[in-house]
Homo-oligomer: A and B are copies of this chain.
């Protein structure tokens, strides 16, 4: 199951060709490929090339517009709402982040809502765009409903991830990027592929009974909010998912709650939608809008050092600074290559043949 290793540049070129064959400009194809492959580089394999075929199938069903024009439909000095014209979230989110960063450059901070969008890859890619400018970045998105609120067996929220990135001097940023569920859907998909059981507290079946069966989602079961059950704070996980939905959906004018359209092309969106497409919410705060940049960099270095050198219960384990495993994996995969599992390779081969592109697999 580990999969074969492929050189980043080769996969990047292939991905660009796919996007270009579908009508994207070279520039947009490169950006979309960069965002998508950032997931593969960082080890979040569920959100990278594994989804390329899915985007294309959505486009074939006219639910994703690969020639979208993004429109700023509302704006103040520090805020904006963007209509993504049914386009790729992979492009709409960087567009929104760029706008937020420009506003923050002038005014101190900036926030942008996006509606009428689609899946945007990993949240952490977008929040990290801010750190290059000595800013703290934020990115979140709602997603199609797979999560039941505490006490319910109805799927009303997506895994609704949020990411915060803090710049660090001469080091990759601190990036806290996480689904607001106990386990991300990607982890469940891995268990399905391996035919392994899920730990308790991750999922429940259609009736709301706790289960270990990772296939329960396709039978109407649901993921549980971070905390798993009320006794362990799942109402807090529900709060987090709700906050992401309220910003990304309700505030932006996108769909929210159970109306967020599915990413997979074989499921149809609901009738009588309450908004447009899926929604994102991103923002940036300039560090030097709050104080001296050097003091901040000194302090965050102390912070990292303090937590990294903390005592651990198991001597073989270390406290993990948010974002560290992803950036360490990225370093390794840039050198050694990106592993792809056979199922993903097969999917990409089919795509290449359909689009008459030479594939490297």
Contact = CB atoms under 8 A, between A and B. Distances in A.
Contacts of A242: 174, 176, 307, 322
B299 A164 contact: no
A237 interface: yes
A201 B246 CA distance: 29
A39 to B, nearest CB: 18
Interface in A245-286: 245-247, 249-253, 256-258, 274-275, 285-286
A174 B74 contact: no
Interface stretch (A42-50, A52-60, A313-321, A339-347): A313-321
Contacts of A317: 151
A285 to B, nearest CB: 6
Binding site secondary structure of chain A: mixed
Interface stretch (A6-14, A23-31, A108-116, A329-337): A108-116
A226 B226 CA distance: 7
Contact of A76 (B240, B246, B289): B289
Contact of A107 (B77, B231, B232, B257): B77
Interface string A287-315: 10111000110011011001100111110
Interface stretch (A86-94, A152-160, A351-359): A152-160
21 contacts: A74-B290, A79-B109, A79-B286, A80-B290, A81-B290, A113-B290, A113-B291, A151-B312, A151-B317, A176-B239, A182-B227, A199-B232, A226-B227, A226-B233, A226-B236, A227-B227, A240-B240, A250-B296, A250-B300, A253-B295, A257-B307
A343 to B, nearest CB: 25
A41 interface: no
A207 B291 contact: no
Nearest to A283: B109
Sorted nearest first, the 4 A-B pairs with minimum C-beta distance are: A208-B313, A76-B108, A176-B239, A79-B108
Given A81-B291, A313-B153, A226 B237 contact: yes
Contact of A319 (B151, B166, B202): B151
Interface of A: 73-74, 76-81, 107-111, 113, 136, 149-154, 156, 164, 166, 174, 176, 178-183, 199, 201-202, 207-208, 226-228, 231-233, 235-240, 242-243, 245-247, 249-253, 256-258, 274-275, 285-287, 289-291, 295-296, 299-300, 302-303, 306-307, 310-314, 317-320, 322
A190 to B, nearest CB: 14
Nearest to A321: B242
